Amino acid sequence: MSVSEYTPANVCEYIPGLENIPAARSSISYVDGQQGRLEYRGIAIEELAAKSTFLETAYLLIWNKLPTREELKKFETEIYSHRRIKYRIQDMMKCFPETGHPMDALQASAAALGLFYSRRALPNQDYIRQAVVRLLAKIPTMVAAFQLMRKGNEPVRPRDDLDYSANFLYMLGEKVPDKLAARIFDVCLILHADHTMNASTFSARVTASTLTDPYAVVASAVGTLAGPLHGGASEEVIEMLQKIGSVENVRPYVEQCLENDPKYKFMGFGHRVYKVKDPRAIVLQNLAKELFQQSHDDSDKYYDIAVELEKVIEEKVGHKGIYPNVDYYSGLVYRKLGIPADLFTPVFAIARVAGWLAHWREQLGENRIYRPTQIYTGQHQSSYVAIEQRS
């Protein structure tokens, strides 16, 4: 028996997490982590947040151009008319345990779409267009439906007269949201729509590279997004703010965490790429401020706690490039919009479907199946030991 560390010829050094290793050539989005700049197809995220809508941004990401008025109208109309989900998918969702996490429900429901629409025809542009439309249209309906079903209620049917974001908030809360709430939610979707080669996008591209159907691509990406080191952090930020409870407790809380563990990771802080404050966190903080100024309630204190926490964490670990990421203020905005904490990541997924689909199309355009290598660290020539002789 021998143990070896075998590295195939021509293999570079092993980099955990593939940090800084390009996994694709892409023209979809661009991040400058030192300057805090994010662009979609070359356009700064701040400009899109101020001037665009989520569906226009999705079109830009997926089709690599800003649509004309007619193209946008057609795209919106197609999406609005595909928002309903089949009763069989609803029946399947009703069987999900109400205690299950909505991300698991979403992953299963997205995969189930493939049962109905999978007939793969990847070289066919009509098939691609239909898959894009169906996924963008139906994912929000599935998120809202699971939320109502787990409370024992029937899902609310989408309303054709409401735009993408207003309709989602309506299906979720069973009442038409005010204009500011719908616009703020739409901006949140724009901000989360794509972010270069993150874990869930990599997952989407790996799945896409096998030439499977786009529903499987989105389902695998949803599974990856669910983890607390990725999309799941916003939910944990709210738990942390609730645990802290008051502005006065912020400093003792941070000091206690770092005393127990000098490498303690505060949720909503740090990023593999950004070494300054995430530009999306800046826009989201402004949105949070706007929302909190508009209506005051008990949740106001959490915004103040968040601002103080940002200050103290910057003081303690800012020198390591640890600043708020996109998940830090998004939870506060969603909470104020009446979205429950365990739906924060599904809401992130609603937005990121646009990016995943853009990467799916791009991957198909220059496809080579992902097949990295490994460094084998196991044994060789071991003997099979009969079960009665094993200790």
Q: Is 104 a catalytic residue?
A: no
Shortest Å distance, C-beta 80 to ligand ACO: 28
CB under 6 A: which stretch of 140-148, 182-190, 304-312, 323-331 binds ligand ACO?
323-331
Does an H or E element contain 108, and which? helix 102-117
Compute the least distance from the CB of residue 270 to ligand ACO, in Å: 2
Size of the site for ligand ACO (CB under 6 A): 19
Stretch that binds ligand ACO, among 54-62, 142-150, 173-181, 270-278 (CB under 6 A): 270-278
346 binds ligand ACO, rule: CB under 6 A: no
Interaction pattern, residues 324-343, with ligand ACO; x per rule: CB under 6 A: -xxx----------------
Site for ligand ACO contains 320 (CB under 6 A): yes
**Within 13 Å of residue 12, how many CA atoms lie on the same side as its CB?**
6
- What residue number has its CB nearest to ligand ACO? 270
Q: How far apart are CA 239 and CA 182, in angstroms?
A: 25
- Write the CB contacts of 316 (distance below 8 Å, at least 6 apart in sequence): 254, 258
Q: Is 160 an active-site residue? A: no
Site string for ligand ACO, 244-263 (x = CB under 6 A): -------------------x
268 near ligand ACO, rule: CB under 6 A: yes
Pick from 13, 20, 23, 367: which is nearest to 203 by CA?
A: 23
Does residue 322 interact with ligand ACO by CB under 6 A?
A: yes
Give the count of alpha carbons within 13 A of 50, CB side only. 7
186, 271, 278, 359: the catalytic one is 271
How many CA within 13 A on the CB side of residue 69?
0
Enumerate the H helices of 160-317 as residue ranges. 164-173, 179-191, 199-208, 214-225, 233-244, 250-260, 279-294, 300-317
102 contacts ligand ACO (rule: CB under 6 A): no
Residues 6 or more apart whose CB falls under 8 angstroms from that of 180 comprise: 290, 291, 294
Q: Does 270 bind ligand ACO (CB under 6 A)?
A: yes
Nearer to ligand ACO, 67 or 227 (CB): 227
Does residue 63 sit in helix, strand or coil?
Answer: helix
What residues line the site for ligand ACO (CB under 6 A)? 229-231, 233, 263, 265-272, 317, 320, 322, 325-327
List residues with catalytic annotation: 271, 327
